[in-house]
Structure 1
Amino acid sequence: MCHADALALLEIIDGCVRCKAEEEFRRLFWKLQGLFPFEHACAVLGRRDDRCGVIVEHFLNVSCGERFVREAGDYLQRSALSREHFTSYRLKFWSEARRRLGQPRELVSLAVDFGMRDGYTIGSGPLPAAPHGSMFCLSVPTVRRDERTETLLELVVPHLHFAFCRLFDGHRRDAGGVALSTVEKDILQLIMQGKSSWDMSVIIGISERTVNYHVYKVMEKLEAINRPQAVAVALRLGLIELS
């Protein structure tokens, strides 16, 4: 990854952590367009249901046509691609997924009519305190897979998922709802300094296994997907300070 990509990615991740309103969340996609070109985008919170396919809890139309959204909504809940997505959450390139899973001709024709010939579907599974997974759909102007685009999506989507859940899944956090122990705060400060689990075990005087347990508990409390995001959330909530 080049330096410019890394800086742009960090800016988007920071925006995900700070995001507090729907309009701010939409602007994250505009910034994402600065990293790689895509034409239309939408985001879904939902879960798989064995009886009716996919239950959509929240649908956010970022830049798709309203008519497409109205007509495609029913297909979204019943399509094989959606059902598989809300099981695996892995990145899929539309044309390859269609050949493998099959898609209703009406949906394929509708997407082509609106200029959504190919693209990516990717998402993340439920957070510990949020019952729904996410699906992000982005149409791209090329009909070939792009390794750089896929790498960037894999890196940024977990953070988009985190922001999406906080906004629309009823799990906004404030500092009053999170209590960290002294050891947990010390560990966050050390993570912020770039210390490894082994480094922290030596500094604090506990085993590396115990350090990893505390890290896990901190991430669970803050609903973070990795250590840097746990630090970012703790800073935003005022639970720790920049040293």
Structure 2
Amino acid sequence: VFRWNESFDYFGSEVEEFAQTAAKYGLKDGYAIGQTIHQITHTACITSVSMDASYLDDAQHFMIRQLLPHVNAILSRPGFLQSPSITKKEREVLQWASQAKSYWEIGTIMGITERTVKFHFNNIFRKLRVNNREQAVKKSVILGLIQ
């Protein structure tokens, strides 16, 4: 967690224009924390709080420094973000794949061709931004799409 004015002082002229523009909109001081890109959801999260720090006492500054990392962690959780929309058939294909069924077995169970199962998987890969069945199943479990 860092204080805006501390970072403005640290970076100096590199952020001067940004600081001046922010100040025009009343964003003069506050706290911020960032998180790198999440491996599963492919998102980065920056949580920032703007305030007139002169109205806060030391205990309030301490509280903000303690709470902000937790707020940022909540906002960057995979389940907090909207899950990709998958069809009922895609969900069923994933459920069977999670039980280590082959394309042929899934097709037989669902009464569809192996080619149709592969078609559903290609859609799943695109929607979940993954490259293979194992990744699709793991990401689907994490996102709560399947159990």
**TM-score when scaled to structure 2?**
0.48
Determine which structure has more spread, i.e. the larger CA radius of gyration: 2
